[in-house]
Each structure stands twice: as structure tokens, then as C-alpha cells.
Amino acid sequence: MDFWQARFTSGQTPWDRSAAHPQLLAWLQAGMFSSNLKVLIPGCGRGHELRALGQAGIAAHGLDYAPAAVALARAQLGDFPGEVELADVLDWQPDTPVDRVYEQTCLCALHPDHWRRYADQLYGWLKPGGLLLALFMQARRDSAAEGFVEGPPYHGDIQGMRALFPASHWNWPAPPYTSTAHGQGWAELAVVLERR
């Protein structure tokens, strides 16, 4: 947590687009979110996506374990519908299962040692038929060829994602998936998984 807290307090947040992710806006436009659905945003950071949903009348629930991020996201949300909770995504549980989880750069912020636990959390949070709207970070480093695991961001290799979110538990759409470039040289692969 200290690592991320320091990033926010020092303003070193190179992943931050200073605006809602274009894919979130595309999914919003496509009707993937609505005000009667419970929406969760784990690792919400500064909360641009919470605000965009709030502006559309959708009260999403943001989670982050860095107090500075929570304060920034609450300020960002202002009076728009929605809320932000200080919580560790590896432990937190909802009162009732949710309809949508918007996963943007939380998975890639976690060391892969924690991915199994996080993926199990995502599965447990969602209702059967609920959707995981995921942006899988594509940030492969050359050192991976020699076995080094470096990040964040940790590379979300598509084969690794298939293993983490197996077809026995998740319905996968057929590729190709939309890729959004990031100014840092990374890209994010947009995949909507249905929880079985």
C-alpha cells in the first residue's frame, strides 16, 4: 500500500490519463451500465471512471487501499452519484453480489503471486451472469524471456488471462479484442467476460 500511497502523494501517476478511459465511455455508450445495476471499480485510483459513470447517473462503488487515492477519487466524484471505500481488493466483500466489475489496471498493479486470489475475488463478487469488463494490460518486457517478473504494470498475457479466468467459470467472447494504446507505450485489451 505504501508504494501506491507514495505515488499519489508525490503525483507520480504515469498511468493516469487525466480523464475517463475511452473504453469505459464506449461501454457506457453501448449500454453496458445502467442505474439499476450494481457496479464495482476495484483499484479506482483518482476516480475518473467513477465520475464519468456518476455523470451518467450511475452510482458506482470504487475501492482503493491508498488513502490518498480515496481522497482524490472522492473529490473527483463530488456530488455525482457513487461512493469510494478504503479497502483492500484481496479481502473486501460486498453485502450482495454485483452486476458489473470494471477492471482497469488493478490486476496489473498486483504482483502475479496475488492474481489467483484476486481472480477468485472477482468471481465471488459477481452474480451469475454478471459481467467483468476487463482491460488487460499489455506491457511485456524483454526480461520476461529470461524469466523475470517485473512491474507494475505486470503484463497481462492473454494466455495467462485464459488460465486465470478459465472457460469453466467465465464465458469468453471470440477475439479479436479492441486494444487501446496508452501514452506510456503500453496497450490495454478490452474483454467482456460473463461470470458463469
Ligand X SMILES: C[S@@+](CC[C@H](N)C(=O)[O-])C[C@H]1O[C@@H](n2cnc3c(N)ncnc32)[C@H](O)[C@@H]1O
Give residues in contact with ligand X (CB under 6 A). 4, 15-16, 43-46, 63-66, 69, 88-90, 104-106, 109-110
The residue number whose beta carbon is nearest to ligand X equals 45
Q: How far apart are CA 162 and CA 185, in angstroms?
A: 23
By the 8 A CB rule, do 49 and 20 touch? yes
C-alpha 89, offset from chain centre: 11
Beta bridge partners of 159: none
Structural Rg of the chain based on CA atoms: 16
**In the bound complex, what is the minimum distance in angstroms from residue 69's beta carbon to ligand X?**
4
Residues 178, 182, 187, CA angle at the centre, nearest 5°?
A: 45
CB closer to ligand X out of 80 and 115? 115
Of 65 and 136, the one with the shorter C-beta distance to ligand X is 65
In the complex, minimum distance from the CB of residue 131 to ligand X, in angstroms, rounded to a whole number: 17
- Residue among 17 and 127 whose Cβ is closer to ligand X: 17
Pick between residue 12 and residue 36 the one whose CB is nearest to ligand X: 12
